[in-house]
Amino acid sequence: YSVARWLADVASVVAEITGQGRVGVIVGGTGLYFKARVEGLSPVPPIPEDVRERWRAFAAVAQDGELHGELARRDPVMAARLAPRDRQRLTRALEVVEATGRSLAEWQTLPGNPLVMAEEAECLVVDRPRADLHRRADQRFDAMVAEGALDEVAGLKAQGLDSALPVMRALGVAPLLAHLNGELALPQAIERGKIETRQYIKRQATWLRRNMSAWRRV
């Protein structure tokens, strides 16, 4: 579910609410979606379907480093920004440079059209004390394991999916997979999953401070 699709859906819902003389309240977690709402997205043109399908097919069979090498040849600026195993973003960058003849890095410097101006909205970042957040995250991870997370990861393992795919990089997947492979005891795998989550919390907090410094913190 891309940021662009989210913006389109939000725009139609907010238009309906505003037309009724009501005020919309948008609540969520991922800061990038909210940033795009008040700043807009870079105006990258639509990618032709044949270009998109060709690069996705290539990505599905490419060896480690092959996608990154191809991007380095065509768009060294974006290649320098992206991790060699980030197939999703590498594929996107290759699609864009082929379809438009311009680097995605160049497109990203162009301003987008915000759906709402920040000064016309009440923009809030709702936070918790870090210790409280860690405690709640630990409880949540325990609950996920109790409710079948191991079975879910076993299902991913059975499909033989590429470890670089986004679903395989979800919080907790790697340590639980290591447990299923006999590499970790379950308590160790759970603790590593919790550590991954705390590290993600830290990255989110850093991102919010950097990108939403003008938003009011609660």
Span 97-147, pLDDT tens digits: 999 999 999 998 888 888 887 788 888 998 899 999 999 999 999 999 999
With a CB cutoff of 8 Å and minimum separation 6, the contacts of 66 are none
Q: Which of 14-18, 175-179, 201-205, 214-218 has the highest mean pLDDT?
A: 175-179
CA–CA distances in Å: residue 191 to residues 139, 141, 171, 196, 200: 12, 9, 12, 9, 14
Mean pLDDT of the chain: 91
pTM of the model: 0.71
CA dihedral (195, 196, 199, 200) positive or negative:
negative
pLDDT of residue 93: 95
pLDDT 10s digits, 84-99: 988 888 999 999 999 9
pLDDT of residue 153: 97
pLDDT of residue 51: 94
CA-to-CA distance for 10 and 210, rounded, in angstroms? 24
